[in-house]
Chain A
Amino acid sequence: MYPPQQEENIYIRQQTQAWRRSGLITEEQLSAINEHTDIQLRRTNLFFRLLFFVFTMLGAGAVVGLFFWLLDFKDADIIAVMLICFGAAFYIAAEYLAGKYLFYRHGVEEALVVMAMVLFCAGCGILLSENHLTLTQLRIVVPALLAITACWIYLRFGFLYAAGISIVALSFIPFQFNLSPAAERIMLFSVLCVIFVFSLLADKPDLEDFRKNRYAKIQACLTTAIYLTVNLQIMGLFGLISMDRHAVHLNPQLFPPSIYWLSYVLTFLVPIAAIYWGIKSRKRIIITVGIVMACVTLATNKSYLGWTRYAWDPAILGIILVGLSLIITRWLNSGVDQRRFGFTARNILKPEEGGITPADVAAALTPGVIETQQPPAGAQEQYFKGGSSGGGGVEGKF
């Protein structure tokens, strides 16, 4: 709904601000670029956007709540119709704000459109359940409806999280047909692959930069979804926690061996393909997702092979990651102009300062983790008492 040139200008300005931050251009040059990239869309910063989103959701939710509380509807059909009406009203309001006042990633129109989506799907769900649809049918129709509405919102407003919601909703559908677990996985895998191929076809080289960037993010989401579908041991981890050894989803060993070993091979192939493709197409997010998936593959490898897990396994994975990072850095730095095939480990673009970073938070949590990992005091003496550690039960008294 927004003019593509406007969105492209926003993308250009984001880049030029990074260049300015990094000292690659001067303030005058930034002004010259800004003169060429006029933006009429009304934007705000991330923090205000979050506040707008939260408080619009709160206000809109309270309006709906007050309406239903005052009128005290008893008939489910009327409740459903009213929910759909509210959904439509919020959607129209969002369209109005975006069209008339040019709100762009402003939080208010986003909250309205998300509320509209939720209310519309809830209303349709109630309406359908009241009209003789079985629970199984409902479990298929409602996620499908959610997937379609979220997809529409993505196409109309360009909200990436709407595309994410659409993919997640779609992923629920194959599990509602009472198919065998293997068939469910194959169906989901096929659906995700089809969407992925469509996203590749849509991602043409002559597209605007902002669209290319958006497609890269969606492709990263899809790659992750495909990986989560093929890695049976991810769900197996939940099985380990819940100790449910009979549910096939939670106990991957119960899958047919052919599917099991095919999935094992795919857990290696998907990350390798993603990393290769990311490097080739220079898509940063795909490279990152590919490496994270590769780490997960290494983490679940022992579970696939049925090998014993040891406490030092995370440390070994950590050493591999540190070693690889250092080797790659050294290799890149030893190239001509500290570059190899265009890749460099130099600090070229300075990131935006956000006050506190996730890295700082992780560091702050470290003492807590160390504290929880301490062996209990006096456990060693207890262990050597009573002969549980050997010695034929001999104690001090003997």
Chain B
Amino acid sequence: MNTAKLLRKLRYEKKLNSGQAELLLNLQERRIFSVLRELRFFLYIGILLIITGAGLTVKQYFINLGDAAIISALTLCFAAAFVYCFAQGRSYERGEVASPNIAFDYILFFGCAFYSMDVAYIETQYHLLGELWENYLLISVALFFFLAYRFDNRLVLSLALSTLAAWFGFTLSAHRFYFENYYRLYAIAYALIVFCCGVLLYRIDIKKHFLDIYLNFAAHFLCIALLSGVTEYKILSLYFPALLLACAALAFYSVQVRKFLYVLYAVIYGYIGISIVIVDQIHRQTFFLFIYFIVTSMLVIGLIFKLSRRFKENQ
């Protein structure tokens, strides 16, 4: 029996009304075919390409174009985007708010990206904030948070959180993309702040659906920072118990809310951390190394198997 036959059978048994059955049959047999996902995908890719193209143009032709042209063009673009969003956006609500149209979320994101580009260009060329130049990132963070919550936009929230990470010193530039002690503590601080913000806003019932984004940022920053500490100091530091605690908390939360992505994080980060310590303890003896990986992989498989059976995920 396939889906269409099953739907007809359910309609015959009066478990589905005729309108419902007809809609589902139309969907199943693709007489109604929604292309919203595809349109959104290409819209987003298009916006990302525009941002990339604009950035490259500024980088390559800033001498020919001149500061005035670049700054005014970028300002005009982001101002237009923000004006559009405030004019067209729906009123603020604490819960989830649907976008007024397909392009709305991406226009807001476009505006935020152009705003960043504009501010970054002004700061790079004129050094308005001098030694305190990194603080312009904080202004951007505040603006992005406001816009993300005002218009219920996940993309802008991600932008805000990664801009906050940049303020903490985490950028894509090669010379900063490693965890020395200084950055490790900053990463932990960042993760805790993001986590606390996410939980607090969730608790006071503001955009509860954003919690996952906060948790993902916090989990990765915290676990990577702790892992780097474990790699450096092995068992002789607080990083190892802290990592175990963080992974246990992730697993516990995951089981509580049945979002198993966090189990994946907990197991992977926890296993890597424990392996670093154990491999160091057995002084890299080949035989014990193999035995360790055989035994622990079987243990993890057993553990996950128990967990999956507990939650009847095989249904």
By a beta-carbon cutoff of 8 Å, the part of chain A in contact with chain B is 5, 8, 11-12, 15, 19, 24-25, 29, 32-33, 36-37, 39, 42-45, 47-48, 50-52, 54-56, 58-59, 61-63, 65-66, 69-70, 108, 208-209, 282, 284, 287-288, 291, 295, 310-326, 328-329, 332, 339, 342-349, 351, 353-357, 359-377, 379-380, 383, 389
Contacts and interface: CB of A to CB of B under 8 A. Distances in A.
B44 A5 contact: no
A379 B6 CA distance: 69
Contacts of A324: 42
A366 B162 contact: yes
Contacts of A348: 27, 32, 34, 36
Contacts, number: 304
Main secondary structure of the interface of B (DSSP, over half): helix
Interface residues on B, range: 35 or more
Interface stretch (B182-190, B233-241, B284-292): B284-292
Given A59-B294, A325-B103, A364-B162, 10 more contacts: A24-B20, A29-B20, A52-B305, A62-B290, A312-B57, A322-B47, A325-B39, A342-B33, A345-B36, A380-B67
B2 A313 contact: no
Most chain A Cβ neighbours within 10 Å, of B38, B46, B172, B212: B46
Contact of A360 (B39, B59, B158): B158
A367 B163 CA distance: 6
Contacts of B16: 25, 29
Nearest to A295: B45
A319 B46 contact: yes
Contacts of A349: 27, 34
Most chain B Cβ neighbours within 10 Å, of A36, A51, A65, A374: A51
Given A33-B6, A51-B264, A383 B63 contact: yes
Interface stretch (B80-88, B117-125, B196-204): B117-125
26 contacts: A25-B24, A37-B6, A45-B260, A47-B263, A48-B263, A55-B301, A56-B301, A59-B293, A59-B298, A63-B294, A282-B30, A311-B57, A312-B53, A315-B49, A315-B53, A317-B49, A318-B48, A318-B52, A322-B106, A329-B102, A345-B39, A356-B213, A365-B162, A371-B171, A375-B59, A377-B125
3 residue pairs, one from A and one from B, having the closest CB atoms: A315-B53, A318-B49, A321-B46
B315 interface: yes
Nearest to A57: B297
A97 B54 CA distance: 54
B39 A363 contact: no
A164 to B, nearest CB: 21
Interface string B89-120: 00000000000001100100100010011001
Interface in B263-308: 263-264, 267-268, 286-287, 290-291, 293-294, 297-298, 300-301, 304-305, 307-308
Interface in B147-174: 154-156, 158-159, 161-163, 166, 171-173
